[in-house]
């Protein structure tokens, strides 16, 4: 039995990840309901504050992806209201959500992360896009990977194999945000490592190896059931798997994250683990990696959500 | 730091896991049924914070909802045993008689036997494609064309050949060329799919002078015409246009719907077809749905019999005219140089052509961040073109919201122009319309 009276699962939002967030939120709500918890799904809209005031929940489970959900804004407001919530505090969210900041902090802690540049749209405008692009290619080489500095689900992100492809990739990226992170592309095994803290300190979950049926792990490959194969645990040699776990745990700790996170990594052919990014509101959909890792390590999904909410409720707002 | 991995409670899973155990068993036609970024973006467009010029939904709030409610209650009380029972696959006879009265407004003289009731006209499109199209068969459709029709054609693996339009609708010479080109390749197109009035998405109407030429061309080529006419009664000027079927009932299958003149949620449409095609449609409908909703059909029948439906259509026309005017006024006031758009004389849609080198699909997430939505033109082409266009739908937002949405969109386009100038023209060419 749980002491939770009633919980609110926040999902939706206005970012391009709205649909994914709704799927995550519905899955969390259903799992909680199955575990006997009175859980309701709520939007972060103009009705939220009055509803939370009128009927304060035991805790909130934020499942909003993208801006406002992962940048700390909603959590900041929950803090102002004194409503307990699962997950990281706003300042940690801000550092994790901003990929260049997360890369810089994890690199300072000794992790390996692909060489990159971060440039706002204005820089291309002010200095001349063509000259800046030439400089990027000269410095980082090819292939590259372009993504918005803030955001997820591979929206606006993609590989660049030739210099001629780079302007279009940057333009696509700017559709989702005004700052582009342009990384040296590292080929290898794509791996996601979840970290959960159920009260005994943060623990890495088994690494999930991601093998898209064709092409990259883009939006379609992420959210079309069957378009990607997952190996849990990842088919990595023992020492490499341990290193992947260490990298995820280091990222979680260095960024000051709380309760749950998911770190995305690439393991190159030499076995070096490269940190790409970390997510403070990992996807919980039926095609997401964190639930797979939980199940593979013997954690029931619903029971884990309940445990995280109980910890949050005990912590208070 | 705690570095120990959580111990697996079971043996490590060495086999790959897929979140769909039936991968490999789906038919080829399901290959394209995947999650897409664009669908994800439309999930945002549905939020009230966004001014959505995307949708395509009629303004059903303008219906006399209390009267419709009373009518439905009476229908169940007095005819419940029929309304809640199966019916024939061809559809309720009384409704088909009423449908003939509706088609008479467009000068079609039809007999109820020619009518097959369908679940919206979308099901008629599905059934017609099912009975005519083998994988790889050619279907001719306007450029651009209705996305729902393209979806039905894709489901049966048709090869869609687009035919150019201009401000006067389908260009007869372009149709002749397309027919000849298919013939030169040893392929005969199975049918021409056309939306002659207040086109979705282009907003243009097939000029009266072209209608006979189009019919003549199709007759010569032995080509069936599918005349899809959801907006024909929603013209803003004068009387409804004469339907193509009014001039050649043997060569034209006419598709109608009550979605725009009554209620989209009722899902009642129809096909008026030559007898042989009608028979096959009835059999195909039986296998698809056994029969259509008696309740929905009788609701429409009662609506047409007891409610002032002609007056209601006038109400809709005025409402949409006001919204069309708001859209055109706002576009003229704020759109940056290089943008062009059509000026619909009815229906729901304006087709916007963006300045050269701007891609409506790439621009969409930025538009949503600015809280305005539209449909990129690529959705209306089977061949991936149309990236330089956007469909704006004015049927749902009130005029002030439309003006605000167009203002937001103009600002987004200004930004895109600036980026195009920074990075060079990377976007695709626009479609053929002005």
- The CA–CA distances, whole Å, from A152 to B51, B178, B227 equal 24, 44, 44
Most A CBs within 10 A among B6, B358, B371, hence the mutation to make, goes to B6
What is Dmax (Cα atoms) for chain B? 83
pLDDT tens readout for residues A293-313: 999 999 999 999 999 999 999
Q: How confident is the model at residue B426 (pLDDT cuts 50, 70, 90)?
A: low
| Length of chain B in terms of residues written | 434
Q: With bands split at pLDDT 50, 70 and 90, how would you rate the model's confidence at B16? A: confident
Mean pLDDT of B320-335: 98
- Band the pLDDT of A1: cuts 50, 70, 90: low
**Which residues have a Cβ under 8 Å from the Cβ of B166 and sit 6 or more positions away?**
B204, B432, B433, B434
- Determine the residue of chain A that is closest to B37 in CA distance: A219
B375 CA: distance to closest CA in chain A (Å): 15
Task: Compare CB distances from B18 to A12, A229, A297 and report the shortest one's residue.
Answer: A229
pLDDT for B378 equals 95
> Of A85, A277, A288, A302, which residue is the catalytic one?
A277
- Mean pLDDT computed over B42-65: 93
Q: Note the pLDDT of residue A51.
A: 95
Checking if the pLDDT of A185 tops 50, the result is yes
Average pLDDT, chain A: 95
Nearest CB to A167 within list B18, B363, B424: B424
Chain B contact for A71 (CB, 8 A cutoff)? no
- Concerning whether A176 is annotated as a catalytic residue, the answer is no
Taking alpha carbons only, the member of B148, B141, B185, B186 closest to residue B165 is: B141
Catalytic-residue membership of A215 = no
Tell me whether residue A277 is one of the annotated catalytic residues. Answer: yes
- Out of A29, A75, A222, A262, the active site residue is A262
With CB atoms and an 8 Å threshold, state whether A17 touches B40.
yes
Contact list, B426 vs chain A (CB under 8 Å): 167-168, 171
Pairwise CB contact (< 8 Å): B22 & A298: no
Pairing status of strand A203-204 against strand A144-148: unpaired
Q: Which of A11, A13, A16, A23 should be substituted to probe chain B, the one whose Cβ sees the most B Cβ atoms within 10 Å?
A: A16
In this complex, do B35 and A16 lie within 8 Å of one another by their Cβ atoms? no
Q: Does A48 touch chain B (CB under 8 A)?
A: no
CA distance B421 to chain A (A): 9
Phi and psi angles of residue B141, each rounded to the nearest 5 degrees, phi first: -150, 155
Is B114 within 8 Å of B272 (Cβ atoms)? yes
Q: Compute the average pLDDT of residues A108-113.
A: 98
The one catalytic residue in A223, A243, A261, A288 is A223
pLDDT in tens, A126-170: 999 999 999 999 999 999 999 999 987 888 999 999 999 999 999
A 213-252 residues inside an 8 A Cβ radius of B: 213, 219-220, 222-233, 241-242, 245-246, 249-250
A218 touches A227 (CB < 8 A)? no
Scanning B133-171, the segments in alpha helix (DSSP H) are: 147-155
Please answer yes or no on whether A249 and B1 come within 8 Å at the CB atom: yes
> A183 - beta bridge partners?
A116, A145
Mean pLDDT confidence for B236-250: 96
Give percent above pLDDT 90 in chain A. 87
The answer to whether B328 and B374 have CB atoms below 8 angstroms apart is: no
3-state DSSP assignment of residue B142: strand
Report how far residue B102's alpha carbon sits from residue B98's, in angstroms, rounded to the nearest whole number: 7
Nearest to B19 among A253, A287, A299 (CB): A287
* Chain B CB contacts of A175 below 8 Å: 362-366
Give the pLDDT of residue B133.
96
pLDDT per residue as tens digits for the range B117-165: 999 999 999 999 999 999 999 999 999 999 999 999 999 999 999 999 9
Do the Cβ atoms of B164 and B383 come closer than 8 Å?
Answer: no
3-state secondary structure of B282: helix
Encode pLDDT of B185-225 as tens digits: 988 899 999 999 999 999 999 999 999 999 999 999 999 99
Please say if the pLDDT value at position B12 is more than 70: no
Pick the catalytic residue: A149, A261, A279, A288? Answer: A279
pLDDT at residue number B118 = 98
pLDDT value of position B427: 52
Q: Which of A15, A17, A25, A288 is the catalytic position? A: A17
Would residue A262 show up in a list of annotated catalytic residues for this protein? yes
Whether A51 is catalytic is no
Residue B8's pLDDT is 41
Of B84, B63, B120, B433, nearest to B262 by C-alpha is B63
Please report which helix (H) or strand (E) contains residue B27, including its range: none
Tokens, residue B233: 């009664």
Spatial distance between the Cα atoms of B260 and B274, rounded to a whole number of angstroms = 25
CB contact under 8 Å between A219 and B35, yes or no, is yes
pLDDT at A19 exceeding the cut of 70:
yes
Question: A211 with A234: CB under 8 angstroms?
Answer: no
Inter-chain touch B9–A297, beta carbons under 8 Å: yes
What Cα–Cα distance (Å) separates residue A205 from each residue in A238, A257, A291, A300, B406? 14, 15, 10, 13, 49
Residues of chain A in contact with residue B3, where contact means CB-CB under 8 angstroms, are 204, 242, 245-246, 249
The answer to whether residue B368 scores a pLDDT higher than 50 is yes
Place of tokens 């013997």: A298
Which residues in chain B are contacts of A222 at CB distance < 8 A? 35
Q: Of the candidates B243, B144, B133, which has an alpha carbon nearest to the alpha carbon of residue B188?
A: B133
Q: Are B134 and B159 in contact (CB under 8 A)?
A: no
What does the mean pLDDT of chain B come to? 93
* Residue from B242, B276, B305, B255 nearest B104 by CA: B242
pLDDT at position B1: 39
With residue A274 as reference, give the H or E element that holds it.
strand A273-279
Is residue A163 within 8 angstroms of chain B, CB to CB? no
Show residues of chain A in contact with B412, CB under 8 Å.
Answer: none
Q: What are phi and psi of B349, to 5 degrees?
A: -125, 140
How many H helices and E strands in chain A?
A: 12, 13
Are B426 and A168 a contacting pair at CB < 8 A?
yes
Residue B246 has pLDDT above 80, yes or no: yes
User: Are A130 and B424 an interchain contact pair (Cβ–Cβ within 8 Å)?
Assistant: yes
Q: How many CA atoms lie within 13 A of A45 on its CB side?
A: 14
B434, pLDDT greater than 80:
no
Question: pLDDT tens for residues A53-80?
Answer: 999 999 999 999 988 889 999 999 999 9
Residue A310 sits at the chain B interface (C-beta within 8 Å): no
pLDDT at B6: 45
Given this model, what pLDDT does residue A216 score?
Answer: 83
Is A153 one of the catalytic residues?
Answer: yes
- Interface probe with B: pick from A19, A162, A253, most Cβ of B within 10 Å: A19
Residue among A256, A243, A152 nearest A204 (CA): A243
Say if the Cβ atoms of B5 and A299 lie within 8 Å: no
The answer, yes or no, to whether residue A219 has pLDDT greater than 60, is yes
Based on the residue annotation, tell me whether A223 is a catalytic residue of this protein. Answer: yes
pTM for the predicted model, two decimal places = 0.91
pLDDT at B9 over 50: no
For residue B3, the model assigns a pLDDT of 42
């Amino acid at each position: 039995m749980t002491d939770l009276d009633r919980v609110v699962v926040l999902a939706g939002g206005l970012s391009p990840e709205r649909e994914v967030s709704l799927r995550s939120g519905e899955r969390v709500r259903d799992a909680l309901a199955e575990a006997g918890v009175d859980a309701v799904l709520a939007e972060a809209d103009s009705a939220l504050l009055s509803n939370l005031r009128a009927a304060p929940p035991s805790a909130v489970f934020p499942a909003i992806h993208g801006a406002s959900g992962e940048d700390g804004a909603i959590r900041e407001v929950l803090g102002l209201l004194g409503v307990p919530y699962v997950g990281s505090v706003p300042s940690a969210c801000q550092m994790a959500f901003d990929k260049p900041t997360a890369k810089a902090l994890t690199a300072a802690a000794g992790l390996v992360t692909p060489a990159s540049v971060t440039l706002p749209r204005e820089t291309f405008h002010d200095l001349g896009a063509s000259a800046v692009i030439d400089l990027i290619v000269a410095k980082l080489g090819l292939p590259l990977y372009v993504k918005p500095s803030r955001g997820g689900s591979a929206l606006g992100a993609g590989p660049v194999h030739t210099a001629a492809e780079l302007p279009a990739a940057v333009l696509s990226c700017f559709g989702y945000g005004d700052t582009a992170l342009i990384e040296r592309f590292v080929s290898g095994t794509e791996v996601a490592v979840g970290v959960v803290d159920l009260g005994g300190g943060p623990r890495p979950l088994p690494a999930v190896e991601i093998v898209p049926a064709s092409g990259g792990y883009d939006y379609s490959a992420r959210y079309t059931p069957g378009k990607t194969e997952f190996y849990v645990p990842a088919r990595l040699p023992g020492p490499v798997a341990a290193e992947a776990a260490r990298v995820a745990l280091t990222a979680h700790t260095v960024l000051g994250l709380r309760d749950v996170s998911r770190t995305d990594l690439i393991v190159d052919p030499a076995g070096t683990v490269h940190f790409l990014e970390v997510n403070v509101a990992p996807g919980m959909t039926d095609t997401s990696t964190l639930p797979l890792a939980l199940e593979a390590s013997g954690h029931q999904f619903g029971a884990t959500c309940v445990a995280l909410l109980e910890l949050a409720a005990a912590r208070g707002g | 730091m705690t570095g120990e991995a959580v111990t697996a409670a079971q043996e490590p899973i060495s086999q790959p896991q897929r979140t769909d155990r039936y991968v490999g068993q789906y038919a080829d036609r399901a290959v394209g049924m995947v999650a897409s970024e664009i669908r994800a973006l439309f999930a945002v467009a549905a939020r009230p914070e966004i001014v959505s010029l995307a949708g395509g939904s009629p303004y059903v709030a303008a219906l006399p909802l209390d009267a419709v409610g009373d009518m439905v209650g009476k229908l169940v009380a007095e005819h419940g045993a029929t309304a809640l029972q199966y019916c024939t696959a061809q559809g309720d006879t009384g409704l088909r008689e009423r449908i003939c009265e509706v088609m008479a407004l467009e000068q079609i003289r039809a007999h109820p036997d020619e009518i097959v009731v369908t679940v919206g006209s979308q099901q008629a499109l599905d059934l017609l494609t099912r009975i005519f199209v083998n994988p790889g068969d050619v279907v001719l459709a306007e450029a651009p064309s209705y996305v729902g029709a393209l979806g039905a054609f894709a489901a049966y693996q048709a090869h869609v050949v687009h035919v150019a339009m201009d401000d006067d609708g389908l260009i007869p010479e372009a149709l002749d060329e397309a027919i000849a080109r298919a013939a030169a390749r040893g392929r005969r197109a199975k049918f021409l799919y056309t939306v002659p009035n207040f086109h979705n998405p282009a907003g243009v109407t097939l000029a009266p002078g072209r209608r006979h030429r189009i019919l003549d061309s199709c007759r010569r080529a032995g080509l069936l015409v599918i005349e899809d006419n959801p907006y024909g009664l929603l013209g803003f000027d004068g009387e409804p246009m004469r339907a193509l079927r009014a001039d050649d009932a043997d060569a034209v299958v006419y598709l109608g719907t009550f979605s725009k003149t009554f209620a989209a949620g009722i899902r009642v449409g129809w096909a008026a077809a030559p007898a042989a095609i009608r028979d096959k449609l009835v059999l195909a409908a039986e296998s698809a749905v056994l029969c259509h909703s008696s309740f929905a059909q009788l609701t429409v029948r009662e609506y047409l019999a007891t409610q002032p439906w002609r007056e209601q259509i006038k109400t809709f026309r005025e409402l949409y005219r006001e919204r069309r005017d708001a859209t055109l006024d706002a576009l003229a006031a704020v759109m940056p140089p290089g943008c062009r758009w059509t000026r619909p004389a009815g229906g729901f849609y304006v087709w916007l052509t963006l300045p050269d080198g701007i891609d409506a699909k790439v621009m969409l997430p930025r538009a949503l961040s600015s809280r305005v939505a539209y449909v990129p033109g690529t959705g209306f082409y089977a061949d991936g073109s149309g990236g330089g266009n956007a469909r704006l739908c004015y049927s749902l937002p009130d005029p002030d919201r439309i003006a605000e949405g167009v203002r937001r969109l103009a600002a987004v386009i200004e930004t895109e122009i600036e980026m195009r100038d920074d990075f060079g023209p990377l976007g695709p060419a626009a479609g053929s319309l002005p």
